[in-house]
Amino acid sequence: MHKPRLQLQASFDIAYLQYLDQQGRATQPLPDFATPDWLTYCLRQMQLARLVDDRAVKLQRTGRLGTYPSTLGQEAIGVATGNALMAEDIYCPYYRETGALLERGVEIEEILAIWGGDERGQNFEHARKDLPICVPIATQMLHAAGVAFALRHRHQQRGEPLQVAVASSGEGATSKGDFYEAMNLAGVWKLPMVFVVNNNQWAISVPRTAQTATQTIAQKAIAAGMPALQVDGNDIVAVAWAVRDAMMRARCGDGPALIEALSYRLCDHTTADDASRYRSAEELEQAWQWEPIRRLETYLRNQNLWSDANQQDMERELAQTMEAALNNWESRAPEPSTAIFDHLYAQLPEGLYEQYDQLRDEQAGVERQ
C-alpha cells in the first residue's frame, strides 16, 4: 500500500516535576521560596486541612453535617495552590478544596456551614471576590476565564497591577466541554489565568484510565496553545513551584498555563460514597505510601527541622483551632427562613411579596406550636 511522505508540522512534549520523592528525599535542590519557615507552615496547613476533613466526616457520620467531600491525600495541591495566590488574585475553586480555601482565608466555620446546608458559608468574610465553591463540574473554569478577562480589563482601564484568576478542578472535569472551552478562550485571548487539575485518579467510581485516552491530562492544554506541566501533586514543593511559575507568567501578560497535579483520592468521593465498591483495598494501601504529609514531615525531620515535640505542639494547637471553629459554627443562630427571598434579586419584585408573607406566616405558625 502506498505511504505518502509526511512532514512534521508541530511537536510537543510534557515535562514532569518533582522535588521530594516518596521517601521525603530531595531529588534536586529546593527553590528559594522553600525556606524552613515556609515548609513548616505548609506542614501545619496540610495537617489543618486533614483535621478539618476528618472532623467534618465524623460530623456527617453523627448526623450533624450533610454530605461532605473530603480532600484526604490531596492536601498538598490545595495548600500549595492557595498559598501561591496574592490577596487580590481571584480563586475559582471546585468543591474539593479544603486546603486552598483555608489558605484564602475562608473560615473553617464557613466550610462547615456550606456542607451543613447554610448558604451563609459561601458569603466568605475574607476573599470577598473569590468565587464560591462550585458544585456543577468544570463550570467554574469558564467563570474563571470571565474573571481573568475582568482582571485584565481593570488592569488596562485603571492601570492596576495585572492579577490572576486560578481555577481548580478534578481530572474528571477535563472530559467536559467547559474545560476545553475555557482553555481555548484563555489561550486565544491570552488571559491571565491558571488551571490547576487535581488528578486524584478517580471521578467518583470512574478511574483515570476510563476517563481519557490521553497519556497525560496536561497535554490537553497543548490543543489550546498554552504551556502545561505535570507535577507530583503529593510533593508540595513541586506543586508550589509550578503554580507560582504559571502565575508569574500570567502576571507578566504571557497568558494562561495548566498544571496537572498527580495525587490520589484516599477517601470516598463524598460521605455518600463507598469506594470499596469499585476499587481494591490493595490499591488504596499502595496509595497511602506516597501521601503528601508524611513525605514533607520526613523531609523536615531528616533536615532536623521537625521533632516529636514540634509535632505534639502543632497537634495541640490545631485541635484548639478546630474546637473554636466548631463552637463558632454550632453557636451561630439559624438564618430566618425568609432569607431564601432576601438575595434572590437585589430588590424583591413586588410579585413575590405574597409568597414571602406566606412563608413568614407559615414559619411563625410553626414556631407557635
Partner 1 sequence: MSEHAKAGEQSSPITLVEAVTQALAYELKHDPDVVVFGQDIGANGGVFRATDGLQSSFGTDRVLDTPLAENMIAGIAVGMATQGMKPVAEFQFMGFIYPGLDHILSHAARMRNRTRGRLSCPIVYRAPYGGGIHAPEHHSESTEAMFAHIPGLRVVVPSSPARAYGLLLAAIRDPDPVLFLEPKRIYRAARQPVPDNGEALPLDSAFVLREGRDLTLVAWGASIKETLAAAERLATQGIEAEVIDPATLKPLDIHSIIDSLEKTRRCVVIHEAARFGGLGAEIAAQIQEYAFDLLDAPVQRVTGYDTVMPYYQLETAYLPGVERILAGARVALDYARQSGREGRK
129 part of the interface to partner 1, by CB under 8 A: yes
Distance CA 224, CA 219 (A): 10
Q: Judged by CB under 8 A, which stretch of 71-79, 141-149, 228-236, 250-258 contacts partner 1? A: 141-149
Q: Judged by CB under 8 A, which stretch of 154-162, 249-257, 267-275, 297-305 contacts partner 1? A: 154-162
204 part of the interface to partner 1, by CB under 8 A: no
Residue 92 beta carbon to partner 1: minimum distance, rounded to whole angstroms:
7
Distance CA 22, CA 298 (A): 10
Residue 148 beta carbon to partner 1: minimum distance, rounded to whole angstroms:
7
As annotated, the active-site residues are 265, 269, 278
Count, residues near partner 1 per rule CB under 8 A:
46
Angstrom CA distances, 106 to 74, 77, 126, 132, 299, stand at 18, 17, 6, 10, 29
Amino acid type, 30: L
157 part of the interface to partner 1, by CB under 8 A: yes
Count Cβ atoms within 10 A of the Cβ of residue 140 and give its class: 0-12 exposed, 13-18 middle, 19 or more buried.
buried
Tell me which of 42, 43, 65, 142 binds partner 1, using CB under 8 A: 142
251 part of the interface to partner 1, by CB under 8 A: no
Q: Which is nearer to partner 1, 334 or 349 (CB)?
A: 349
222 part of the interface to partner 1, by CB under 8 A: no
Q: HSE on the CB side for 245, CA within 13 Å? A: 17
Strands 165-170 and 90-92: parallel
Count Cβ atoms within 10 A of the Cβ of residue 13 and give its class: 0-12 exposed, 13-18 middle, 19 or more buried.
exposed
Tell me which of 44, 64, 120, 279 binds partner 1, using CB under 8 A: 120
Tell me which of 24, 31, 105, 146 binds partner 1, using CB under 8 A: 146
Tell me which of 14, 26, 150, 322 binds partner 1, using CB under 8 A: 150
Tell me which of 185, 194, 243, 293 binds partner 1, using CB under 8 A: 185
148 part of the interface to partner 1, by CB under 8 A: yes
Strands 206-207 and 202-203: antiparallel
340 part of the interface to partner 1, by CB under 8 A: yes
- Contact set with partner 1 (CB under 8 A): 90, 92, 119-120, 122-124, 128-129, 131-132, 136, 139, 142-151, 153-154, 156-157, 165, 177-178, 181-182, 184-185, 188, 339-340, 342-346, 349-352
